[in-house]
Amino acid sequence: MYVMSEGKFVYVNESLCVLLGYTEEEFLSGDIVLENTIHPEDLSIVRSRISGKAQFTSEQMRYRVRLIKSDGDFLHAEIHSNLSEWDDKPAFIGSVTDVTEEVMAQSRLKESEERYNSLFFENPDAIFSLDREGNFMNVNPGALALSGYTYDELMEMSFAPMIVPEHLDKDSIIFLNP
């Protein structure tokens, strides 16, 4: 938790000190300001949020930025703050939550999806996915070229018409006994 008034920290709790690696004294001395703690590329986000709250309002702000720790490392944080008063002066009272693991997990998921899509759609071989009933869920360009059907046609049908009749019973058993 923190309280900022007139561009300076006037209160910080121990959790924020531990999170960023600064002591309470360093924060309260006035030496630690936004420029020391907010990633340069995210500083404009914070400044626009602050300037947008120049009028007294109780509306809560919530946004994500990268913070700079005292050792120079970065972390992703979600900030919740309200404009209030502290010692009869306008002040931002807020909390900071480390969301680095969530952001990293989302990034890994996105990379995995991109890798899958690249392997699926760029592969010259026919690749498709089926639901539990044997209906097409997705097909790649190679499957379209091999089958002669359009994407929309395949999305409306089962795999069964593409199987040689004497093999249909063997292939269908997979879908009959999940």
Cβ atoms of 125 and 137 closer than 8 Å: no
Domains of the chain: 2-102 (3.30.450.20), 123-176 (3.30.450.20)
Distance of CA 90 to the CA centre of its chain: 32
CA distance 130 to 124: 19
The secondary structure of 55-90 as a DSSP string is S---PPEEEEEEEE-TTS-EEEEEEEEEEEEETTEE
CA distance 80 to 85: 16
CA distance 82 to 95: 10
Cβ atoms of 72 and 36 closer than 8 Å: no
Cross-strand partners of 79: 63, 96
Supply the DSSP symbol for 6.
T
pLDDT of the chain along its 178 residues, tens only? 999 998 899 999 999 999 999 999 999 998 898 888 999 999 988 888 777 655 545 568 889 999 999 999 999 999 999 888 899 998 899 999 999 999 999 999 999 999 999 999 999 999 999 998 889 999 999 999 999 999 999 999 988 888 877 777 765 556 655 4
Cross-strand partners of 68: 74
What lies within 8 Å, CB to CB, of 7 at 6+ separation is: 33, 34
Residue 86: is it exposed, middle or buried by C-beta count within 10 angstroms (0-12/13-18/19+)?
A: middle
